[in-house]
Chains A and B, each alone.
Chain A
Amino acid sequence: SQELEQSPQSLIVQEGKNLTINCTSSKTLYGLYWYKQKYGEGLIFLMMLQKGGEEKSHEKITAKLDEKKQQSSLHITASQPSHAGIYLCGAVSSQTDSWGKLQFGAGTQVVVTP
Chain B
Amino acid sequence: EAGVAQSPRYKIIEKRQSVAFWCNPISGHATLYWYQQILGQGPKLLIQFQNNGVVDDSQLPKDRFSAERLKGVDSTLKIQPAKLEDSAVYLCASSPLGGKRSEQYFGPGTRLTVT
Q: When the two chains form their complex, are residues B103 and A48 in contact, meaning their CB atoms are under 8 A apart?
A: yes
Interface stretch (choices B11-19, B43-51, B80-88):
B43-51
Is A40 located at the chain interface by the 8 A CB criterion?
yes
**Which residue on B lies nearest to A92, using beta carbons?**
B100
Number of cross-chain contacts by CB at 8 Å: 65
A103 to B41 Cα, complex, angstroms: 11
Which residues in A have their C-beta under 8 angstroms from that of B101?
Answer: 100
**Which residue on A lies nearest to B58, using beta carbons?**
A101
Q: When the two chains form their complex, are residues A45 and B104 in contact, meaning their CB atoms are under 8 A apart?
A: yes
**Which residue on B lies nearest to A4, using beta carbons?**
B42
B53 to chain A, nearest CB (A): 11
Q: When the two chains form their complex, are residues A101 and B103 in contact, meaning their CB atoms are under 8 A apart?
A: no
B109 to chain A, nearest CB (A): 5
How extensive is the interface on chain A, given as a class? 20 to 34
Q: When the two chains form their complex, are residues B108 and A42 in contact, meaning their CB atoms are under 8 A apart?
A: yes
Is A13 located at the chain interface by the 8 A CB criterion?
no
Q: When the two chains form their complex, are residues A107 and B100 in contact, meaning their CB atoms are under 8 A apart?
A: no
Which residues in A have their C-beta under 8 angstroms from that of B98?
Answer: 99-100
Whether A99 touches B41, Cβ cut-off 8 Å, given contacts A30-B100, A42-B107, A45-B103, is: no
**Which residue on A lies nearest to B3, using beta carbons?**
A42
Other A-B contacts than A40-B111, A45-B106, 17 sampled, CB-CB below 8 A, are A31-B100, A40-B109, A41-B108, A42-B91, A43-B43, A45-B103, A45-B105, A50-B100, A99-B31, A99-B48, A102-B104, A103-B42, A103-B45, A104-B44, A106-B41, A106-B42, A107-B42
